[in-house]
Amino acid sequence: MAQLWGGRFTKETDQLVYNFNASITFDKRFYKQDIKGSLAHVAMLAKQGILTEEEKEQITDGLNGILEDVESGKLEISDKYEDIHSFVEATLIDRIGDPGKKLHTGRSRNDQVALDMKLFTRDEIHEIDAQVKELLEVILHVMEENVETYMPGFTHLQKAQPITLAHHMGAYFEMFRRDHERLQDIAKRMNTCPLGSGALAGTTYPLDREYTAELLGFDGPTLNSMDGVSDRDYLLELLSALSIIMMHLSRFCEEVIIWNSNEYQFVEIDDAYSTGSSIMPQKKNPDIAELVRGKTGRVYGALNALLTTMKGIPLAYNKDMQEDKEWAFDAMDTAKGCITLFAGMLKTMQFNKDRMEESAKHGFTNATDAADYLVNHGVPFRDAHGIVGKLVLTCIEKKIPLDALPLEEYKKISPVFEEDIYEAIDLETCVNKRITIGAPGKDAMEKSIAAYKKYMAE
Ligand code: ARG
């Protein structure tokens, strides 16, 4: 047991209590952020005359030495300390003696951990955001290659109207673009520095909080010391953003799994991203897509866990808040793993364009266009809908698509139909007539792609 307190205690902590209370096994993960925060704190203390220049030099050298030795593996972060803050401070005192004891002047572990967690989260957000941007690049590339790859668009998983693969991918571009913007937004809002909030009520030392905030790359200090130590909103926002990213990935995975099935055969997942069966030699399974879909629950779990942990906590710091870490770390790791693997799978996936087009030609995806044809010839839409319904029924009976039905059959149901109906319900026509903003028509799609390329360049 190695702890920073004990003066007012007359008994040793029970070992089980000690273990239950300690957080070093997981908060050692932000040793770098902890040391970085201490370096800024010490620089500020010296600037304010609270430490001498000499003390500052000694502490700074000591902290840098600890950082180096941890990174090189020379110094192991021992689990015998209560938390990472205790480990760093105790090691510093061990190494440099008395000046080390001044490091914690005007600081509490409450504002220290609030800072560490913020610094760590901020770094993670940038890392995750870079991955989201890479995924956007992959999606955009698939879009560019598939402006004329026709496929059925679905509602209720029933063939609805023809679209293109570029159009389908564009929907995901929009989703992940919002994710990217959400991450940026969180990084911006969270960028205030809690250091100097003390345990909850600030401190009587003349700290320059603006200076430490600036040294650590924050826009400024937090403006209420109680909120400073007990705010975890930024973490909830990130877990919420990660949950939405996972939901998007999971939907995408669900489609990949369906498209990769023997019935659809719209795509073939690359061998490097598939797995086999131990019993069925013919199998090539979409395990990666399934795992990403499955891991979504873990990330939702982390969000739920922290929301629940936070809901009953009176101001200011309470030990419950130590529970903010493990699930959050797991969620960050999970999301990062999933985004990278998904991007790799998408990048290497083969699209079976003929099969997609063939599928779009069946299932009456052009029925709406047949109705539109009638509307363009003066038939009210509701009547046109009924007429085409009858046409579809006839075709189902004859087991043929709309464009294989002879003109006399069309005319039996409505005399308005002429030879040009075949042109109007042709797959390419059906798609390329859709030129409103955001529609799958070639012109509209090329405009979207140009806008996305510009967006990525900015
Ligand atoms: N390990 C603690 C945490 O993660 C650090 C803060 C401890 N503060 C305290 N007053 N016990 O929240």
Q: What are the catalytic residues?
A: 156, 277
What is the Cα Rg of the chain in Å?
31
Which helix (H) or strand (E) segment holds residue 138: the answer is helix 109-145
Evaluated on CA atoms 148, 149, 154, 159, the torsion sign reads positive
Residue 114: CA atoms inside 13 Å, Cβ hemisphere, count? 32
The response to whether residue 110 sits with its C-beta less than 6 Å from ligand 1 reads yes
Q: Dihedrals φ, ψ of 351, to 5°?
A: -100, 125
Q: What is the pLDDT along the chain (458 residues), one digit of tens a residue?
A: 677 777 888 888 899 999 999 999 999 999 999 999 999 999 999 999 999 999 999 999 999 999 999 999 999 999 999 999 999 999 999 999 999 999 999 999 999 999 999 999 999 999 999 999 999 999 999 999 999 999 999 999 999 999 999 999 999 999 999 999 999 999 999 999 999 999 999 999 999 999 999 999 999 999 999 999 999 999 999 999 999 999 999 999 999 999 999 999 999 999 999 888 888 888 889 999 999 999 999 999 999 999 999 999 999 999 999 999 999 999 999 999 999 999 999 999 999 999 999 999 999 999 999 999 999 999 999 999 999 999 999 999 999 999 999 999 999 999 999 999 999 999 999 999 999 999 999 999 999 999 999 999 99
pTM higher than the cut 0.75: yes
For 396, other C-beta atoms within 10 Å of its C-beta total 10
The response to whether residue 322 sits with its C-beta less than 6 Å from ligand 1 reads yes
Report the distance separating Cα 305 and Cα 336, nearest Å.
20
Q: How many residues does the chain have?
A: 458
- 113 C-alpha to center of ligand 1: Å? 7
- 72 C-alpha to center of ligand 1: Å? 27
226 Cβ neighbours under 8 A, 6+ residues apart: 197, 200, 201, 315, 316
Q: Dihedrals φ, ψ of 80, to 5°?
A: -75, -15
Closest C-alpha to 270, from 162, 362, 332, 348? 348
The response to whether residue 109 sits with its C-beta less than 6 Å from ligand 1 reads yes
Nearest ligand 1 atom, CA 325: 4
Structural domains of the chain sorted by starting position, each given as residue range(s) with its CATH number in brackets: 15-105 (1.10.275.10), 110-147+163-198+222-352 (1.20.200.10), 358-457 (1.10.40.30)
Return the best residue to mutate from 322, 327, 329 for the ligand 1 pocket (most ligand atoms within 8 A of CB). Answer: 322
The response to whether residue 27 sits with its C-beta less than 6 Å from ligand 1 reads yes
Query: If DSSP codes are grouped into helix, strand and coil, which group holds residue 163?
Result: strand
> CA 112: distance to chain centroid?
27
The answer to whether 201 and 226 are in contact (CB under 8 A) is yes
Nearest ligand 1 atom, CA 82: 1
